């Protein structure tokens, strides 16, 4: 029996129709994947099921009855829990408080029973196979850990339907296995799962059926057994995707960026590395291995205790991102919402911000010139927006990610650092971005790329530096890593 | 298909509303302008005198001092800050301007601008480098500034402002009050700075998301110092004009101006959380208050009602400006 049935769901936003007469059913107990390009309408659909957005037309049947959730709390109470694409945690509360938000155990009905709360929180996380200090504030947790807190929250609500909007985008390989383990356990208990991901291999691994959206319309719903990756991509994009990896054209030149003995407290120690012009270097490692912290330090976003940074052979005093940009270093940060974008400003301002000097003549901004340059980038990255003036917060997750990339393409930095550049980006767009990174390298820029997707690192990088527990565990060429995967995995896992 | 939409919509600033532009959306964006025009229309109907040039100039003259201060305040609030010290800058500047008349017009003007900027600089450094909250830092400066004005003047008015200075503050040029001219020029300048300079973009970026701005290579501390200096500079200028209008320097000058300025900014639709708002909105905010007071006067209503009305306007404005989520 269908636990959820959608009939003619339509949702319009100013300038776009996000969903157009969507009808399909989700069977009780199945894992139903929802796929489609960036901006196809997946998150909007999820928000409707979660009671966060109301459709303009159409009905949702839940357990056979029409429902119209007025607010997310209604959906949660009736057994539909949702983990949204952008996490919604209270950053200043502890992990435990977030898990039990509004449902704290009490002592004699008066005060919060803290020891009990912490024990309960640990128990819930235990069911997920995770141990972390539940007293820590959420803002001090890594993104992967925050994700786990969100899942734990849903567990607490004993939900019949669990909807996950791109949960794996923020997870490393290790954490992903953990998540799949949890989902398998939930499924065994009869929980219905709606799963969104741009990583199609995941869809084939865990889903029973897939619904494909394209430009707000439903293209089809199929059991996964009937599909191949190629066929699915064809359904999503309307075209076939021949080659994932770009043809290599870049030529490795002189050393552009050199780091010597960079250390910061317990976070990372004695990190030394080189990136040459025209070279793509992958920085691999588990979440928490210190990769992000190292690149932030290179970019001047965090202070270091010791170490030197050399740019084209000269010592560079980088104490702020501004200084880094002056030395020609750009960083695409891992968290677009907090670090990457001005949510309530227009797309055009976000993209041009890194290099406004380009558009200034006689002290004033040339808005026409700015709009043209930004439009070219928007087109190159195929960013879907209602216009250059659209506020970034109204873009779909993947399009926001592309906006962050566009921002740094606007700069003329000769050294570009990407921290998870394709997080949340659809397959088609990924190929475009790989092509773009390749072009940047071919133009002679030095590229340092962090990725938790091993295939991405293996597909793109000339050299792979592996970090583990704040130190460099080893360096491999792409050939070594591809031909000897077990050696690579051993480096990663230690 | 979507790409075509993109191609035709290359304007900056304005959100792209598609075909379905609803009344609610128009109100959301232009609400305050609509209210202002309705108010002007109503005033014109209620009082035959209202639209006469002399009366219009009178309204403008009355809002010009706090208006100039509000322009600087707009930049501060756009960075999600606040400047409570502006009224005290006015007080200190009137006192110093009155007592240094012997230096001559231009040196006194430079002195006033320097004092205002210096107070702004201290605010900015305390906030950006000292990490003191803007409210606390400028509250302290508010008391210290006015305190200095009292100490310096001994609590007594300082006389002796010379005719040239009075002409500067209270005179007319081609039939228009000087203070109105200054206000209009600074208004246009401020609009241009916010919309067409890198500094303006940095201000909006810092107010919208400080961390993202920093990671985009914006020197956040510097921008913060700059907005407080700007606010101090504008307030110093307002103090000079005010001294010329009063004809004396007095430590009680500019009392409560910080709140009038903040009111204009808020009524004008600038968010106290930063990152959203406009200079022209601030002008409308100041003008709405000015026109309402003027209308009450023209209709012979007790001026004691004015503060009450201002409160109502603020309340109405935040409801109109409320952005739907
Ligand atoms: N609040 C909103 N206001 C205006 N437009 C919106 C709003 N929310 C979504 N949209 C638009 O609706 C479309 C669908 O967005 P949605 O977030 O559902 O896409 P998605 O399939 O989840 O994409 P992604 O894979 O990038 O996360 C996009 O064009 C987006 O810009
Ligand atoms: Mg989405």
Read off the CATH number of the domain in which A260 is found: 3.40.50.300
ipTM: 0.87
Write the pLDDT tens digit of every residue in A52-107.
999 999 999 999 999 988 888 889 888 898 888 777 777 788 888 888 887 777 77
Complete DSSP assignment for A405-454:
HHHHHHS--SEEEEESTTTT--HHHHHHHHHHHHHHHHTT-EEEEE-S-H
The answer to whether residue A200 is domain-embedded is yes
Same-domain pairing of A314 and A221: no
Answer whether A345 sits within 8 Å of B15, measured CB to CB. Answer: no
Q: What is the pLDDT along chain A (494 residues), one digit of tens a residue?
A: 789 999 999 999 988 899 999 999 999 999 999 999 989 999 999 999 999 999 999 999 999 999 988 888 889 888 898 888 777 777 788 888 888 887 777 777 778 888 888 988 888 888 777 778 888 888 888 767 787 788 788 778 878 999 999 888 777 777 788 788 888 888 888 889 999 998 888 999 999 999 999 989 999 999 999 998 888 888 888 877 667 788 888 899 999 999 999 999 989 999 999 999 999 999 998 877 899 999 999 999 999 999 999 999 999 999 999 999 999 999 999 888 889 999 999 999 999 999 999 999 888 999 999 999 999 999 988 898 999 999 999 998 889 999 999 999 988 899 999 999 988 888 888 888 898 899 899 999 999 999 988 888 999 999 999 999 899 999 999 989 888 888 888 888 87
The answer to whether residue A244 is domain-embedded is no
Alpha-carbon distance B172 to B193, whole Å?
Answer: 27
Q: Which of B7, B217, B276 to mutate to test the interface with A (most CBs of A within 10 A)?
A: B217
The answer to whether residue B12 is domain-embedded is no
For residue B2, the ligand 1 atom closest to its alpha carbon is: 29
Structural domain harbouring A98: 2-238
- Chain B residue at shortest CA distance from A373: B10
The answer to whether residue A90 is domain-embedded is yes
The answer to whether residue B2 is domain-embedded is no
The answer to whether residue B277 is domain-embedded is yes
Answer whether A16 sits within 8 Å of B11, measured CB to CB. Answer: no
Residues of A in contact with B21 (CB under 8 A): 14
- Output the CA–CA distances (angstroms, integers) from residue A385 to A45, A238, A369, in the order listed: 18, 20, 19
For residue A385, the ligand 1 atom closest to its alpha carbon is: 31
Shortest distance, CA A371 to any CA of chain B (angstroms): 6
Cα of A198 vs centre of ligand 2, distance in Å, is 10
The answer to whether residue B50 is domain-embedded is no
Final residue belonging to a domain, choices A180, A203, A238: A238
Cα of A38 vs centre of ligand 1, distance in Å, is 8
Structure tokens at B231: 């606010």
The stretch B58-71 carries a mean pLDDT of 96
User: Could you count the other beta carbons within 10 Å of the beta carbon of residue B131?
Assistant: 9
Give exposure, B86-96, as e/b (b: 16+ Cβ within 10 Å).
bbbbbbbbbbb
Contacts of B15 (CB under 8 A, 6+ apart): A14, A346, A387, A389, A390, A391, B29
Final residue belonging to a domain, choices A238, A270, A301: A238
The answer to whether residue B80 is domain-embedded is yes
Cα of B188 vs centre of ligand 2, distance in Å, is 42
Task: Give the number of domains in chain B.
Answer: 1
pLDDT at B101 over 60: yes
The answer to whether residue A422 is domain-embedded is yes
Task: Give the number of domains in chain A.
Answer: 2
Q: Tell me, yes or no, if A464 comes closer than 8 A to chain B by beta carbon.
A: no
Q: Would you place residue B305 in the very low, low, confident or very high pLDDT band (cuts 50, 70, 90)? A: confident
When CB atoms are compared, the residue of A340, A349, A360 closest to B204 is: A349
Final residue belonging to a domain, choices A238, A263, A280: A238
Q: Please state, rounded to an integer, the average pLDDT across all residues of chain A.
A: 89
Answer whether A14 sits within 8 Å of B18, measured CB to CB. Answer: yes
Confidence at residue A436, expressed as pLDDT on a 0 to 100 scale: 87
Write the pLDDT tens digit of every residue in A277-327.
999 999 998 877 899 999 999 999 999 999 999 999 999 999 999 999 999
- Chain B residue at shortest CA distance from A365: B196
The answer to whether residue A394 is domain-embedded is yes
The answer to whether residue A290 is domain-embedded is yes
E strands, A446-488, where?
446-450, 463-468, 471-477
Dihedral angle sign, alpha carbons of residues B161, B165, B166, B169: negative
Alpha-carbon distance A287 to A285, whole Å?
Answer: 7
Q: Which of B2, B12, B129 to mutate to test the interface with A (most CBs of A within 10 A)?
A: B12
Write the pLDDT tens digit of every residue in A407-430.
999 888 999 999 999 888 888 888
The stretch B12-28 carries a mean pLDDT of 47
Same-domain pairing of A24 and A82: yes
Q: Which residue, by CA, sits nearest to atom 24 of ligand 1? A: A38
Structural domain harbouring B227: 56-322
Alpha-carbon distance A348 to A375, whole Å?
Answer: 8
DSSP-assigned letter for residue A34: E
Q: Would you place residue B29 in the very low, low, confident or very high pLDDT band (cuts 50, 70, 90)? A: low
């Amino acid at each position: 029996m269908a636990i959820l049935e959608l009939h003619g769901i339509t949702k319009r936003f100013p300038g776009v129709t996000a969903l157009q007469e969507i009808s399909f059913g989700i069977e009780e107990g199945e894992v139903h994947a929802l796929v489609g390009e960036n901006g196809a309408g997946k998150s909007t659909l999820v928000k409707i099921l979660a009671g966060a957005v109301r459709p303009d037309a159409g009905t949702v049947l839940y357990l056979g009855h029409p429902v119209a959730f007025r607010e997310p709390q209604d959906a949660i109470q009736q057994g539909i829990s949702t983990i949204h694409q952008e996490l919604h945690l209270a950053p200043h509360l502890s992990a435990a408080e977030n898990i039990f938000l509004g449902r704290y155990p009490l002592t004699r009905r008066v005060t919060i029973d803290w020891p009990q709360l912490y024990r309960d929180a640990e128990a819930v996380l235990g069911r997920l196979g995770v141990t972390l200090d539940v007293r820590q504030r959420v803002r001090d947790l890594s993104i992967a850990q925050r994700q786990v807190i969100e899942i734990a929250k849903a567990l607490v609500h004993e939900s019949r339907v669990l909807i996950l909007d791109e949960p794996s985008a923020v997870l490393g390989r290790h954490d992903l296995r953990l998540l799949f383990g949890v989902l398998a356990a939930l499924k065994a208990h009869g929980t219905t799962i709606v799963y969104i991901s741009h990583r199609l291999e995941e869809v084939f691994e865990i889903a029973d059926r897939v619904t494909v959206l394209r430009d707000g319309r439903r293209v089809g719903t199929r059991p996964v057994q009937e599909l191949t990756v190629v066929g699915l991509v064809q359904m999503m994009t309307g075209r076939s995707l021949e080659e994932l990896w770009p043809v290599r054209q870049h030529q490795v030149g002189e050393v552009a960026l050199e780091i010597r003995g960079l250390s910061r407290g317990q976070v990372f120690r004695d990190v030394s590395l080189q990136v040459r012009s025209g070279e793509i270097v992958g920085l691999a490692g588990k979440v928490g291995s210190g990769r992000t912290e190292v690149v932030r330090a290179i970019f001047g976003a965090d202070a270091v205790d010791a170490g030197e940074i050399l740019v084209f052979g000269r010592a560079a005093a980088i104490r702020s991102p501004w200084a880094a940009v002056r030395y020609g270093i750009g960083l695409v940060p891992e968290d677009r919402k907090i670090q990457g974008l001005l949510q309530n400003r227009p797309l055009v301002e976000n993209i041009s911000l890194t290099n406004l000097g380009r558009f200034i003549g006689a002290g004033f901004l040339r808005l026409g010139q700015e709009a043209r340059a930004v439009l070219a980038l928007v087109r190159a990255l195929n960013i879907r927006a209602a216009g250059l003036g659209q506020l970034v917060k109204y873009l779909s997750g993947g399009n926001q990610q592309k906006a962050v990339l566009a921002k740094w393409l606007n700069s003329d930095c000769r050294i570009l650092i990407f921290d998870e550049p394709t997080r949340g980006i659809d397959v088609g767009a990924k190929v475009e971005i790989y092509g773009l990174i390749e072009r940047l390298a071919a133009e002679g820029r030095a590229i340092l790329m962090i990725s938790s997707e091993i295939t991405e690192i293996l597909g793109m990088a000339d050299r792979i530096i592996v970090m583990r527990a704040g130190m460099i565990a080893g360096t491999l060429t792409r050939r070594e890593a591809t031909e000897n995967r077990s050696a690579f995995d051993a480096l990663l896992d230690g | 298909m979507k790409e075509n939409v993109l191609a035709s919509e290359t304007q900056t600033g304005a959100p792209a509303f598609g075909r379905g532009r609803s009344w609610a959306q128009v109100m959301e964006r232009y609400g305050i302008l609509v209210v202002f025009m309705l108010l002007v229309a109503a005033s014109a109907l209620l009082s035959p005198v209202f639209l006469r040039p002399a009366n219009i100039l009178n309204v403008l003259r009355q809002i010009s001092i706090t208006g100039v201060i509000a322009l600087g305040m707009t930049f501060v609030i756009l960075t999600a800050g606040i400047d409570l010290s502006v009224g005290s800058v006015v007080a200190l500047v009137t006192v110093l301007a009155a007592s240094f008349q012997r230096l001559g017009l231009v040196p006194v003007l430079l002195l006033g601008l320097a004092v205002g900027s210096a107070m702004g600089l201290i605010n900015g450094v305390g906030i950006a480098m000292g990490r003191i909250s803007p409210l606390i830092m400028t509250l302290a400066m508010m008391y210290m500034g006015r305190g200095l004005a009292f100490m310096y003047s001994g609590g007594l008015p300082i006389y002796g402002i010379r005719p040239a200075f009075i002409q500067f503050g209270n005179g007319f040029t081609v039939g228009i009050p000087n203070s109105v001219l200054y206000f209009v020029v600074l208004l246009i300048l401020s609009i241009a700075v916010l919309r067409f300079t890198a500094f303006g973009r940095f201000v909006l970026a810092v107010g919208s998301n400080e961390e993202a701005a920093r990671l985009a290579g914006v020197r956040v501390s510097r921008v913060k110092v700059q907005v407080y200096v700007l606010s101090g500079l504008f307030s110093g200028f307002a103090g000079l004009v005010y001294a010329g209008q009063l004809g004396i320097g007095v430590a009680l000058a500019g009392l409560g101006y910080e709140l009038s300025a903040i009111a204009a900014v808020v009524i004008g639709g600038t968010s106290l959380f930063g990152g959203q708002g406009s200079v022209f909105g601030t002008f409308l905010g100041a003008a709405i208050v000015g026109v309402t007071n003027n209308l009450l006067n023209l209709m012979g209503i007790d001026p004691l009602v004015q503060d009450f009305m201002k409160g109502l306007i603020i309340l109405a404005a935040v409801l109109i400006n409320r952005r739907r989520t």
